[in-house]
Structure 1
């Protein structure tokens, strides 16, 4: 229990630092610096490839934390890690400020899967101990910037599915207190797919 508490407090400290840096970011400078990001994430942060995340409208502190994690090898991805390595603190803050200032385009859900997705998102699965997504990410998926829980509404279903599977397998481990790993570990393939589709259709 003590170890979990320390992990959560450590994550909170990183979140506070990220928030402070992100608030000092310059969106105009970030727009210029985002040219290399546009190939994957789109010029306005709305990626075309569904396996690459939309960054538009995301909380700046969350974007900054992910960039910091890629730079420090706390989150590893063959495409993002080398992109983040040369970034300075100012670069990361500026990019976070720019992408957070953009407007996310609405997503579209597979309606045949949203019933189960809504059930898990709003109520979890008591039988398997899977917590409701809404508890941290909010009823409409807007997230909680104070706790550094990301906005997920309208995110590509394919990307969300990839991340939930990565958490479930332990391939992604930059979640405070193993919160996402513990939740994803109890989810079935069908639940992950359904939740991902439901999230894609959520709007602010």
Structure 2
């Protein structure tokens, strides 16, 4: 009589081996997908499905809810593009002028501040709109601006941006124009600092990068310090934070003085 093959399931030792391997696989899956995630996360695991998702590296239902609740972890919720603003018309500018009456105490009657607040006259429309959105969502913090934006809808913010962008950008006449610092024209490539002019001003003006010429010196200096220490973090790709972290106090002072005098 022919003996059954060693690899045949008719061989009882083969059946025992396959059964043992399957049992170990089930136990390993239970440990890896259930016991370990629940032991590590405790109550945060939420449910059996959340534990499995955690082990697989996929956010479960409770994790998704916590992520959506912590929206401020993102730098901004504004998608910056060249077409983010619709062409402004006279009606939009007029509505913006009416809304801007509440802003005159800090930003001046015609968008030129006397209180070291940003000058908004002639500012890039998309830049104003983005900052208003970031103030409202909490991505940019300000005890003054957040209450001012809380009741604005999206059209209100677009109208304000259209109005201030429409105003002429006023500059003081210069008898002896300042020579641009090297950081403005060339940056400092060895320290991974790009030229300021590559984003701010001239033909290289980016879609939501603000014009810095004529802004109050104290305001520019404070913002560079805020980017450097991370207290301001609404730059989408951390480009300002990465740059500001490399600046010395003397360089920040020099840049602020140069742009304020432009």
- Inter-partner Cα distance in structure 2 for 1:128 and 1:17: 29
CA contact (8 A) 1:107 1:156 kept: no
The partner residue of 1:16 within 76, 81, 94 is: 81
Whether the aligned pair in 2 keeps the contact of 1:173 and 1:181 (CA below 8 Å) is yes
Q: CA RMSD in A?
A: 2.7
- Say if 2:77 and 2:134, in contact at 8 Å, map to a contact too: no
Q: Are residue 90 (structure 1) and residue 150 (structure 2) matched? A: no
The separation in 1 between residues aligned to 2:223 and 2:190, in whole angstroms, is 23
1:77 & 1:30 partners in 2: Cα distance? Answer: 21
Aligned residue in 2 for 1:144: 205
Matched, 1:75 2:135: no
Q: 1:33-48 counterparts in 2 under 5 A? A: 33-48=99-114
Match of 1:126 in 2: 189
Aligned to 1:76, what secondary structure does the other structure show? coil
Q: What TM-score do the two structures reach when normalised by structure 1?
A: 0.81
Output the CA distance in 2 between the equivalents of 1:89 and 1:161: 30
Runs (5+) with no aligned partner, structure 1: 1-9
**Could you tell me which residue of structure 2 aligns to residue 3 of structure 1?**
none
Give how far 1:11 is off: 7.1
Q: Is the 8 A contact 2:78 2:133 kept in 1?
A: no
TM-score for both structures, normalised by structure 2: 0.64
In the alignment, structure 1 residue 172 sits paired with structure 2 residue 232: yes
CA distance in 2 between partners of 1:125 and 1:108 (Å)? 30
Kindly indicate whether the alpha-carbon contact (under 8 Å) linking 1:22 and 1:60 is maintained by their aligned counterparts in 2.
no
Distance 1:170 1:108 in 2: 35
1:22 deviates by 6.9
Structure 1: how far apart are the matches of 2:96 and 2:236? 27
Contact kept, 8 Å, 1:121 with 1:134, in 2: the verdict is yes
**How far apart are the structure 1 equivalents of 2:240 and 2:131?**
15
Structure 1 residues 17, 79: closer, same or farther in 2, change over 3 A?
farther
Task: State the distance in 2 between where 1:157 and 1:93 align.
Answer: 27
Deviations 1:100-150 (A, max 9, x none): 1111221589x8xx55x5221112123432221011113x5x7625x3211
- Deviation string 1:10-66 (CA, Å, 9 cap, x unpaired) is 97961239833574770111111111101100111101112x100000111110110
